[in-house]
Amino acid sequence: MFADIVVDIAAGELDKVFQYRVPEALESEISAGMRVIIPFGRGNKRTEGYVIGLTAVPSYPEEKIKDIEQIINDGITAEQQLITLAANIKTVYGSTMAAALKTVIPVKKQVRAVERKTYHLNIPKEEAEELLEKLKKDRRRTSGAVLLQALLCQESLSRTAVIQNLGVSPSVLKNLLDRHVIAEETCRVYRKPVRIQNEETAKKMLNAGQQAAVDGILAAPGEVHLLHGITGSGKTEVYMALVEQTLAKGQQVIVLIPEISLTLQTVSRFYQLFGDRVSVMNSRLSAGERYDQYMRAKEGDVDIIVGPRSALFMPFERLGMIIIDEEHDGAYKSETTPKYHAREVAIWRSKLCGATVVLGSATPSVAVYHKALTGVYHLHRLTVRAAADSVLPKVHVIDLREEFKLKNKKIFSEQLTEMIHERLAKKEQVMLFLNRRGYAGFVSCRNCGYVVKCRHCDVSLTAHYDGRMKCHYCGYEQPAVKVCPVCGSKYIAAFGTGTQKVETMVSQNFPGAKVLRLDRDTTTKKDSIDEILSDFKNGDADILVGTQMIVKGHDFPKVTLVGVLAADLSMFSGDYLAAERTFQLLVQAAGRAGRGSLPGDVVIQTYQPDNYSIVCAAHQDYEAFYRQEIAYREMMHYPPFYHMLAVLGESSRMPELDQAMAAVGKMAEVLLPESEVVGPASAFVSRAKDAYRKVIYIKSRTMRPLIQLIAGIDQAVKNDRIFNKVYIQFDMDPVSMY
Ligand code: ADP
Ligand code: ZN
Ligand code: ZN
């Protein structure tokens, strides 16, 4: 027997399959997906590799084939389906096979098992009762009697129970063991990262809309479904009903969430219904916890896994459903090579095993909604809030240009200030949201709202530290402007306020209010996100200030006011998804208000009250937003009408980089005569870690030619000296621009 093996070395030129002989002794044991030790290269260095296939006939002269040395037996393997998935990821997203395999294996190394010792009787019951009577008469041996008595009532006892609870000394225990009166057993216990008090909440009766969605999804198993439900419409309840039905069929479920910070909230709700059958998988777990969850999934000890995108690769054998909550979230796209999109890969995985895919969102991504409308996916809608008395909040849009004219230079408008005071007086809670992620230093006029844009592209220029303004789409640049070209005001500058500054301003403007802040800086510690969120939920603070981390999916019934400080910040991130992202963030932020029985208000502060993503968000009108956005996408040849491939080149040497990127551009034009090629241009971060960065975008109606282009460039990178000093990366259908 022969094995095809991918060598576990990151270097690109080794991205090749090597054949090895399987020694007879290993034949019965080996299977695809296992990791093995092989002699590799001239020096026969012991190297780790993945078996990706087995065959009876060698494809090389037999005498040239070396033997596999040993199998690594630690339980970490990739099943055939996951190998297929890795191969697809490699082809579509452009990476080495080894990197793709590492992606689909969510644990890296074996971690020693936690063991627990238990004790049980080793003699017949009657004999034990006789012995007990004897021991009872001997006053020096009462503790042995206590243990026997306990083991006569209870089949087995843990070591802690024996020593701590019963107070039996280790020497008495040893004595009874040595006399074979009792016996010891060692068993493996899994680390269980879910520690939740089971608060009893009554299971909810689904409303008509929820029931229709559940029925509709179950009626088309193995297909892709979009659950489009407004914020607070009870999507989680729908997921739970679906999970219940899937488990009843003996199948397993993966639930993806966009942010680790949502883990506790999501898992608690599932835990109430499914108890220990639920577990989590994410990077905050210890290596031991991760390994154990992987083994539990493999051995069928859990049926539901909740986690961010990497949880997609849990080794469930009977996977029946993949649920992707907040489907539109950019966090589902990997930032490192292979830059796969968990939603797309989930759909591939479902096709391999027949699982149903459920995508849930209040603000579906435009590309997904397009597929739902054109019948590629099924569409189910939830149009009302589920909780009794809960209605969508009232939205107020504040024009910051007017505030500025009224000489209000604070970051809180008059109306927002007034409403915050009102809430504080009524002891209700407030969330203040700063859309900082989109902050890329776009330059705007505080008097008229004018935004400096590129001459050649419909994107804003961004201010750089060197004082110039650049288009990171086409490479155009110009000196910074000092006065507004429209109104002549000199208050034109890069916009930027951090959450920390907001926190300080809240304390100054609302003395006495208790403030909590949630952003990347405050949540570096292991449990701090959960702490901050639960403190706020328990009413330990009046105001929560934060970035988009606070708008995603959280359910705080006492929040009756949400303030969005500068809604425009995400609009000028300079890419085609900017409007979609702004709309989504605003609707999600607004969705945090008035989720309990108290009605809610939302204040959106903006320099562009007429922009369609803001107008539509204010009306919570997804359809209207979609109609405008899809027309723009079609006109501009953006996804979902075109696929887009970004090729990013990095090098410490500019001339080599220029040459290589020019060659990439040439190849694109030759191989894809129908396509549109933009660039090469300097990336937004034009130099990182001493390397220059350039990017080319190629748009094509279908994906196939782009995949061929990736393969072609890969080939050239291996063979052409032009690429010697250049590191090339691919990003298929990027969700942010370079
Ligand atoms: P979404 O995820 O769609 O924003 P959630 O699933 O968080 O909404 O539900 C919003 C609120 O509505 C929650 O407090 C939930 O307990 C409540 N809820 C959901 N379904 C029902 C129902 N059928 N009856 C009563 N309350 C419900
Ligand atoms: Zn102006
Ligand atoms: Zn430009």
Angle of CA points 590, 641, 548, to nearest 5°:
25
Which element (helix H / strand E) includes 393?
Answer: none
3-state class (DSSP) for residue 375: coil
Strand intervals (E) in 66-181: 66-67, 70-72, 114-121, 157-158
509 lines ligand 1 (CB under 6 A): no
Identify whether the C-beta of residue 255 lies closer than 8 Å to the C-beta of residue 239.
yes
Q: How many Cα atoms are found within 13 Å in the side-chain-facing hemisphere of 673?
A: 0
With a cut of 90, say whether residue 727 has pLDDT above it: yes
> Tokens 């400080």 label which residue?
565
With a cut of 50, say whether residue 472 has pLDDT above it: yes
Q: How confident is the model at residue 35 (pLDDT cuts 50, 70, 90)?
A: confident
Spatial CB neighbours of 685, under 8 Å, sequence gap ≥ 6: 693, 738
Q: How confident is the model at residue 437 (pLDDT cuts 50, 70, 90)?
A: very low
Name the closest ligand to CA 387.
1
DSSP characters over 15-57: -SEEEEE--HHHHTT--TT-EEEEEETTTTEEEEEEEEEEESS
What spacing in Å lies between the alpha carbon of 399 and ligand 2's midpoint?
14
Ligand 1 atom 21: residue of nearest CA: 386
Which of 203, 204, 391 is the pocket-test mutation for ligand 1 (most atoms within 8 Å of CB)? 204
Ligand 1 atom 10: residue of nearest CA: 232
What spacing in Å lies between the alpha carbon of 344 and ligand 1's midpoint?
27
What spacing in Å lies between the alpha carbon of 388 and ligand 1's midpoint?
9
Q: What pLDDT score was predicted for residue 279?
A: 92
Which element (helix H / strand E) includes 156?
Answer: none
What spacing in Å lies between the alpha carbon of 394 and ligand 1's midpoint?
19
Gap between the Cα atoms of 165 and 147, Å rounded: 11
157 lines ligand 1 (CB under 6 A): no
Lowest-pLDDT choice from 158-162, 317-321, 378-382, 641-645: 158-162
Task: Using alpha carbons, select from 95, 96, 97 the residue that is nearest to residue 51.
Answer: 97
Name the closest ligand to CA 491.
2
Identify whether the C-beta of residue 616 lies closer than 8 Å to the C-beta of residue 701.
no
Q: What pLDDT score was predicted for residue 197?
A: 67
Q: What is the arithmetic mean of pLDDT over 496-520?
A: 79
Which of 325, 382, 555, 584 is the pocket-test mutation for ligand 1 (most atoms within 8 Å of CB)? 555
Gap between the Cα atoms of 443 and 495, Å rounded: 6
Q: What pLDDT score was predicted for residue 588?
A: 87
233 lines ligand 1 (CB under 6 A): yes
What spacing in Å lies between the alpha carbon of 455 and ligand 3's midpoint?
6
Name the closest ligand to CA 232.
1
Which of 205, 228, 231, 236 is the pocket-test mutation for ligand 1 (most atoms within 8 Å of CB)? 236
Q: What pLDDT score was predicted for residue 99?
A: 87
Both tokens of residue 601? 């208000």
Q: What is the arithmetic mean of pLDDT over 378-389?
A: 89
Ligand 1 atom 14: residue of nearest CA: 387
Gap between the Cα atoms of 736 and 738, Å rounded: 7
Q: Alpha helices, DSSP H only, in 202-330?
A: 208-219, 235-248, 263-274, 287-299
Name the closest ligand to CA 492.
2
Q: What is the arithmetic mean of pLDDT over 40-52?
A: 86
- Indicate the average pLDDT of the chain: 86
- Maximum Cα–Cα distance across the chain: 103
Gap between the Cα atoms of 372 and 369, Å rounded: 5
pTM of the model: 0.82
Identify whether the C-beta of residue 457 lies closer than 8 Å to the C-beta of residue 471.
yes
Identify whether the C-beta of residue 258 lies closer than 8 Å to the C-beta of residue 326.
yes
387 lines ligand 1 (CB under 6 A): yes
Identify whether the C-beta of residue 614 lies closer than 8 Å to the C-beta of residue 704.
no
Q: What pLDDT score was predicted for residue 75?
A: 72
236 lines ligand 1 (CB under 6 A): yes
What spacing in Å lies between the alpha carbon of 331 and ligand 3's midpoint?
26
Q: What pLDDT score was predicted for residue 572?
A: 60
Q: What is the arithmetic mean of pLDDT over 27-56?
A: 86
Q: What pLDDT score was predicted for residue 417?
A: 93
Both tokens of residue 357? 């895919």
Identify whether the C-beta of residue 618 lies closer than 8 Å to the C-beta of residue 604.
yes
pLDDT, tens digit (0-9, with 9 covering 90-100), for 92-121: 999 888 889 889 987 777 777 778 888 988
